[in-house]
Amino acid sequence: MEENLWTNIDNTEYSQNKELYQNHILEQYKMYVEMADRISSRRNLANIFFLTLNTTILGAIGFLFEKIQLVKPEWLVIFPLFSILILIVVWWWLLRSYRNINSAKFRVVGLLEKRLPSSPYWSAEWKELGEGKDLKKYLPLTVLETIVPVVFGILYIMIGLFVIFWMK
C-alpha cells in the first residue's frame, strides 16, 4: 500500500522548501482523516436506517400476528420473510463494505503519519488498543455492528418457522 501512496512528483520544489512539503502532507492528512470520519458517519446513518426499518417490521409483525391465521397455506409467509432476509443480507454487506473502506483509510492515515512529527492514531492510540486484536483492550465496533443483522435474521427465521409449523 505504501508504494501506491506517494507520487513521483519532481521533488526540487520540496527539496528547497521542507516546510512547504510538511504543510502539504499535513493538509492531506487533515483532509483524509475528515474523509474517514465521513465514512464512519455514513455507516452510522445506514445502521440507523436499517435498525429503524427492522424495528418497524417487528412492530408490524407483532401487530399483525393475530391476523396471520388468515394466511392459508401458512408457507406463503416465506415470501415476505425472504424479502426481509434479503434486506438483512444487504445491511450486512453494506456494513462489511464500510468496514473495509475505513480499514483502508486508516492504514493510509498511518502511512501519512510516518511523514508527520507525531503519530497520534497509528503509533499511539491504535497500538495502545492492541490494533483491534486484543479484545480485552478494544472490541472493534465493526465486529459488534455486523452481529446485529445476523441477530435480526435469526429472529425473522424463528418467527417464520413458528408461523409455518406451530400456528396451524
3-state SS of 46-93 is HHHHHHHHHHHHHHHHHHHHHHHHHCCCHHHHHHHHHHHHHHHHHHHH
Please check whether residue 150 is in contact with residue 156, taking contact to mean a CB–CB distance below 8 angstroms: no
* DSSP H or E run through 166: helix 141-166
- Position 1 in a domain: no
- Grid coordinates belonging to 44: 452510522
- Grid coordinates belonging to 123: 503509533
- How many domains does the chain contain in total? 1
- Position 24 in a domain: yes
Q: Domain range holding 56?
A: 14-166
- Position 2 in a domain: no
The reported pLDDT for the residue numbered 52 is 96
* SS3 annotation, 137-158: CCCCHHHHHHHHHHHHHHHHHH
Nearest of 103, 107, 105, 92 to residue 146 by alpha carbon: 92
Please check whether residue 33 is in contact with residue 140, taking contact to mean a CB–CB distance below 8 angstroms: no
What CA–CA distances, in Å, run from 114 to 6, 14, 15, 30, 101?
12, 17, 18, 14, 21
- Contacts with 75 (C-beta within 8 Å, 6 or more apart), sequence order: 164
pLDDT tens, residue order, the chain (168 aa): 777 777 766 666 677 777 888 888 889 999 999 998 999 999 999 999 999 999 999 888 888 777 766 666 766 677 888 999 999 999 999 999 999 999 899 888 888 888 888 888 888 888 888 887 888 888 888 888 999 999 999 999 998 888 778 766
The reported pLDDT for the residue numbered 136 is 83
- Position 7 in a domain: no
Angle at 134 between CA 38 and CA 155, to 5 degrees: 70
Q: How far apart are CA 164 and CA 68, in angstroms?
A: 10
The reported pLDDT for the residue numbered 88 is 96
- Position 107 in a domain: yes
DSSP classification of residue 115? T
- Position 3 in a domain: no
The reported pLDDT for the residue numbered 165 is 80
- Position 122 in a domain: yes
